[in-house]
Amino acid sequence: MQQILDGIQSGASSDDFAHLTIPESYRAVHVLKSEQDMWAGVASKDKDPRKSLHVGEVSTPELAPDEVYVAVMASSINFNTVWTSIFEPISTFGALARLGRESTWAARHDLPYHVVGSDASGVVLRVGSAVRNWKPGDRVTVHCNHVDDQDPSAHDDSMLAANQRIWGYETNFGGLADLAVVKANALMPKPAHLTWEEAAVNALCNSTSYRMIVSSNGANMKQGDVVLVWGATGGIGAYATQYVLNGGGIPVCVVSSPDKAAILRKMGVEHIIDRAAADYHFFDENGVHDETEWRRLGKDIRGLCGEDPDIVFEHPGRSTFGASMYVVKRGGTVVTCAATSGFMMEFDNRFFWMRLKRLIGSHFANYKEAWEANRLISKGMIHPVLSQVFPLEQTGEAAYQVHHNVHEGKIGVLALAPSEGLGVTDHELRATVADQLTWFRR
């Protein structure tokens, strides 16, 4: 690995990279199939990723013709790594087994360990024989849509592909490692003005928010739309807020502390609700929805911007979903991609049908959407929301912080990068967005 790192840092040529020896094993963050029942009977909040995420050597798999090896400089924590580490809602080994049954190449994924991680920035080391657009030495970021392009269902919107998966969550060989195995159709150019760790945190959350807010597959926001953003300084919320601001929308941002509200003010957000201070109780003590609290939220939103939201960016799930469906404007859209607080959701259908509202389910992004979202990062129009950086050895601690919601924005993880601050090649563009790059930094 040292040879690879030396090559990256000395700006070696494509030919030099192509001749580097690929190591037979590499350092990777993984969970073990033998431990998938370790949390039986333990409450979710007490399941500790520091105990289930291991860092150790794993064997390098053979490269399929449509894949590349990426030397990973940095990666990030996504909530899906938390889900994997607490084996909720189900163990990811079932997904690896199902993938393993699809083809000879896919069988490599079905292992007694799962290398996790759905983001990466780094350098292409080797390309498979069918790869045409990328070469060794290319600096890349990786998006996490894993699709089989021989499947006809993948050729309209690839997120509708029958066997669409999330790389590093429903596949093996993910990004929280020194080396990753990536399909060539998941590569994107690394934004030149960003460090490795800044470049590594965007693809999953940024692309997800792009699809939800901007894309015609999502809410397709127009200028002037009022958008209620839950978790507005969290991983996806922080990008969603930027898309609303950039696109001429009016964000109404919900967070749970004055510190998070202060970040939003730096970003230029005017309308902020501190849900902890407001102390909403959308359910009564018997777990029954309390419509008066939905009304109170609606009144608070009107008090801030004078209108009901055209769009609600929904992901907390059970705890907020009924309220989101209630407060969205007549004819408005709730777009949802998650259910952090619980999957079984309820809402009052009368306010849905009689007010002609729409509900859109959304999941990650297709290649085109991810590419457009990456392009906006590369142009300095959307910014990474990196708050902290951990070494790979401390991935468990980083995941623990996300699990317990004591982080802001995104947490980066250094893999091969020996320190923070490396990898910038466009210093001129960087200087123009220097302030924005500090919004979330602790």
Least distance in angstroms from the C-beta of 55 to ligand NDP: 22
Q: Are 152 and 63 in contact (CB under 8 A)?
A: no
Structural tokens at position 328: 């969205």
* Residue 363 sits in the site that holds ligand NDP (CB under 6 A): yes
**72 vs 339 by CB, closer to ligand NDP:** 339
In angstroms, the Cα distances linking 223 to 249, 253, 407, 409 are 5, 17, 31, 25
- Among 161, 402, 417, 437, the residue binding ligand NDP under the rule CB under 6 A is 402
**12 vs 399 by CB, closer to ligand NDP:** 399
| 191: preceding bond cis by omega (within 30 degrees) | no
- Among 256, 300, 302, 391, the residue binding ligand NDP under the rule CB under 6 A is 256
Q: Are 378 and 191 in contact (CB under 8 A)?
A: yes
For residue 132, count CB atoms less than 10 angstroms from its CB and return exposed for 0-12, middle for 13-18, buried for 19 or more: exposed
x/- letters, 88..127, toward ligand NDP (CB under 6 A) = ----------------------------------------
**To 10 degrees, what angle do helices 235-246 and 203-213 make?**
50
Least distance in angstroms from the C-beta of 133 to ligand NDP: 25
**54 vs 363 by CB, closer to ligand NDP:** 363
> Which part of the chain contacts ligand NDP (CB under 6 A), choosing from 31-39, 47-55, 233-241, 434-442?
233-241
Cα separation, 222 vs 332, in Å, equals 12
Size of site (CB under 6 A) for ligand NDP? 30
Helix (H) or strand (E) holding 27: strand 25-32
Name the residue with the smallest CB distance to ligand NDP: 234
* Residue 389 sits in the site that holds ligand NDP (CB under 6 A): no
3 state SS of 329: coil
Cα separation, 1 vs 178, in Å, equals 8
**98 vs 363 by CB, closer to ligand NDP:** 363
Q: Which of residues 314-353 bind ligand NDP (CB under 6 A)?
A: 315-316, 319-320, 337-338, 340-341
- Among 69, 173, 210, 230, the residue binding ligand NDP under the rule CB under 6 A is 230
**131 vs 154 by CB, closer to ligand NDP:** 154
Cα separation, 356 vs 371, in Å, equals 33
Least distance in angstroms from the C-beta of 410 to ligand NDP: 7
* Residue 147 sits in the site that holds ligand NDP (CB under 6 A): no
**90 vs 107 by CB, closer to ligand NDP:** 90
Q: Which of residues 259-298 bind ligand NDP (CB under 6 A)?
A: 260, 275
3 state SS of 318: coil
Cα separation, 158 vs 147, in Å, equals 7
Q: Where are the alpha helices (DSSP H) in 250-366?
A: 258-267, 275-278, 291-305, 321-327, 349-353
x/- letters, 185..204, toward ligand NDP (CB under 6 A) = -------------------x
Instruction: List Cβ neighbours of 29 (8 Å cut-off, separation of 6 or more).
Output: 53, 54, 55, 115, 116, 117, 176, 177, 392, 395
User: What angle is formed at CA 166 by the lines to CA 107 and CA 406, rounded to 5 degrees?
Assistant: 130
- Among 255, 263, 301, 385, the residue binding ligand NDP under the rule CB under 6 A is 255
Q: Are 202 and 374 in contact (CB under 8 A)?
A: yes
Longest dimension (CA), the chain: 67
> Which part of the chain contacts ligand NDP (CB under 6 A), choosing from 88-96, 220-228, 249-257, 265-273?
249-257
Region label for 421, one of left (φ > 0), alpha (ψ between -120 and 50) or beta (otherwise): left
**181 vs 205 by CB, closer to ligand NDP:** 205
**224 vs 343 by CB, closer to ligand NDP:** 343
Least distance in angstroms from the C-beta of 343 to ligand NDP: 10
Cα separation, 141 vs 122, in Å, equals 6
Least distance in angstroms from the C-beta of 329 to ligand NDP: 20
Binding footprint of ligand NDP on the chain (CB under 6 A): 78-80, 204-205, 208, 230-231, 233-237, 254-256, 260, 275, 315-316, 319-320, 337-338, 340-341, 363-364, 402, 405
